[in-house]
């Protein structure tokens, strides 16, 4: 028997925190260190925590890390919005029948969708990978029982296979590319590389990351993530929780005493997840971002890593590095009944109008 329980209170009990950590499979953005840091810093007004758990008598088997927008009666995944949490979704114990877990959770959700206290009319989940069969199965089961589903905003994450290390990566590259990569690697001898391995390192590093990120984004006419104080608080809290676990991958490059590039990422047992970076605009001719990427690729084998994941976004450099695209999209689910049908119609209409407005705007000729 699988028992479904809804948890809405914080702080989270240590036993649940530990079990949740195990279900996450070492993927930092699925772990409580990341998702509860988001909740601590970003909790929306009129919202409540909505952790849906599936257990047998002895242990946690499944967890759906939702929060609930009470006035909208909508469930969403922790970590959504501007933070761009990738690979979030339904977590299941790998050694248990996942079909049973999905069945139990979908049955509970449908049975309680009209409840006055914990009910829901829609579920919105950002960035669900095509390969996430458990989360998609949950949506499909709700649809089979009268719910409505939609999928939109197709995008990619980009993952570079470096199982064969730096030498293997070079061997897979064209002759001209190998020459460029070797030149960039040789140029690393001209810079100092500072890695974050302690809290003292972090205190020196974090202001540098903020400064370089903001300089670069501002130079492109963008406000930059750190213009939102919540983001700075969140990233620092999550990073300091992941640092003692050995999962923080942060460093910066310095040339002649001036920081020229900074990067922050996180690691699982096999993957380096590159989350955010910044470069010094006045040093753009040195290609500091490309230097940082070369150093990361070179470091994967010594660190026992098999892949670098550049996360969502189709920036050209990811394809140039020979990373492989992996599809993902946003999923929307409405509860069974006429309310779900009306919400699906409304959502489709809003999407249609948004796309129409974009197409009209793009068709307007620029003034000469």
Please report whether residue 315 resides in a domain: no
197 and 289 both lie in a single domain: yes
Q: Is there a single domain that holds both residue 95 and residue 113?
A: yes
- Percentage of the chain modeled with pLDDT above 70: 92
Task: Tell whether the model's pLDDT for residue 361 goes beyond 90.
Answer: no
Euclidean distance between CA atoms 149 and 292, whole angstroms: 41
Q: In the beta sheet, which residues pair with residue 226?
A: none
* Per-residue pLDDT tens over the stretch 187-224: 999 999 999 999 999 999 999 999 999 999 999 999 99
Distance CA 231, CA 49 (A): 19
Q: Are strands 122-129 and 74-77 parallel, antiparallel or unpaired?
A: parallel
Q: Are residues 41 and 99 in the same domain?
A: yes
Same domain assignment for residues 174 and 261:
yes
Strands 60-69 and 47-55: antiparallel
- Assigned token pair, 278: 């910044």
Whether the CB-CB separation of 62 and 115 falls below 8 Å is answered with no
Distance, in Å, from the CA atom of 123 to the CA atom of 109, rounded to the nearest integer, reads 10
Q: Is residue 246 part of a domain?
A: yes
Determine the pLDDT at residue 337: 76
pLDDT tier at 364, thresholds 50, 70, 90: low
Q: Which tokens hold the place of 353?
A: 């109008």
CA-wise closest residue to 111 among 76, 103, 100, 66: 103
Task: Note whether residue 317 is domain-resident.
Answer: no
* Residue 257 and residue 174 share a domain: yes
Q: For the segment 65-120, what is each residue's pLDDT rounded down to a tens digit?
A: 999 999 999 999 999 999 999 999 999 999 999 999 999 999 999 999 999 999 99
Backbone angles phi, psi at 308, to 5 degrees: -115, 120
How large is the average pLDDT for residues 246-265?
98
Whether 324 is covered by a domain: the verdict is no
Cross-strand bridge partners of residue 92? 62
* Domain CATH number, residue 199: 3.40.630.30
Query: Per residue in 31-45, is it b (16+ CB within 10 Å) or e — as a string?
Result: bbbbbbbbbebbeee
Is 42 inside any structural domain?
A: yes
pLDDT at residue 57, as a whole number: 85
Considering the domain architecture, whether residues 138 and 197 belong to the same structural domain is answered as no
Domain that holds residue 23: 3-154+329-363
With respect to residue 337, please indicate whether it lies within any of the assigned structural domains: yes
The predicted pLDDT at position 85 comes to: 97
Domain co-membership, 149 together with 239: no
pTM, rounded to two decimals: 0.92
Among 24, 49, 44, smallest CA distance to 34 is for: 24
Look at residue 313 and tell me if it is in a domain: no
183 lies in the same domain as 283: yes
Whether 289 and 359 map to the same domain: the answer is no
Task: Say yes or no: 144 and 212 in one domain.
Answer: no
Q: What is the mean pLDDT of residues 276-286?
A: 96
Please indicate, yes or no, whether residues 298 and 175 belong to a single structural domain of this protein.
yes
Residue-wise pLDDT tens digits, 12-63 = 999 999 999 999 999 999 999 999 999 999 999 999 999 999 999 889 999 9
Do residues 301 and 181 share a domain? Answer: yes
- Mean per-residue pLDDT, 170-190: 94
| Number of domains into which the chain is organized | 2
Does residue 320 lie within any of the structural domains? no
Please choose, from the candidates 321, 307, 332, 275, the residue with its C-alpha nearest in 3D space to the C-alpha of residue 86.
Answer: 275
Of residues 355 and 178, which shows the higher confidence score? Answer: 178
Average pLDDT of span 129-133? 96
Report how far apart the first and last C-alpha atoms of the chain are (Å, whole number).
70
């Amino acid at each position: 028997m699988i028992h479904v329980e809804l948890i809405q209170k914080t702080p989270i009990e240590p036993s649940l925190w530990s079990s949740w950590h195990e279900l996450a499979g070492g993927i930092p953005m699925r772990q409580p260190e990341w998702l509860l840091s988001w909740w601590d810093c970003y909790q929306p007004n009129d919202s409540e925590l909505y952790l849906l758990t599936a257990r047998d008598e002895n242990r946690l088997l499944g967890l759906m890390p939702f929060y609930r927008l009470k006035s909208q009666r909508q469930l969403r995944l922790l970590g959504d919005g501007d933070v761009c949490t990738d690979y979030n979704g339904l977590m299941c114990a790998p050694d248990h029948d996942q079909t049973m877990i999905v069945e139990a959770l979908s049955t509970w959700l449908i049975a309680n969708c009209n409840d006055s206290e914990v009910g829901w009319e829609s579920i919105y989940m950002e960035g669900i990978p095509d390969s996430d069969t458990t989360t998609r199965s949950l949506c499909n089961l709700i649809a089979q029982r009268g719910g409505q589903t939609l999928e939109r905003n197709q995008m990619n994450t980009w993952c570079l296979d470096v199982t064969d290390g730096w030498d293997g990566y070079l061997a897979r590259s064209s002759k001209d590319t190998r020459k460029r990569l070797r030149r960039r690697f040789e140029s690393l001898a001209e810079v100092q590389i500072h890695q974050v391995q302690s809290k003292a390192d972090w205190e020196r590093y974090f202001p540098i990351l903020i400064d370089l990120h903001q300089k670069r984004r501002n130079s492109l006419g963008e406000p930059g993530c750190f213009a939102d104080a919540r983001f700075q608080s969140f990233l620092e809290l999550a990073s300091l929780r992941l640092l003692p676990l050995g999962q923080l991958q942060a460093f910066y490059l310095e040339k002649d005493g001036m920081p020229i590039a900074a990067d922050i990422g996180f690691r699982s047992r096999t993957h380096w997840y590159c989350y955010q970076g910044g470069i010094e605009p006045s040093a753009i001719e040195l290609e500091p971002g490309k230097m940082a990427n070369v150093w990361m690729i070179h470091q994967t084998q010594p660190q026992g890593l098999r892949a670098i994941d550049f996360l969502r976004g189709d920036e050209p450099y990811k394809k140039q590095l020979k990373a492989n695209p992996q599809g993902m999209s946003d999923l929307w689910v409405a509860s069974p009944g006429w309310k779900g049908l009306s919400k699906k119609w409304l959502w489709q209409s809003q999407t249609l109008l948004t796309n129409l407005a974009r197409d009209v705007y793009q068709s307007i000729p620029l003034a000469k």
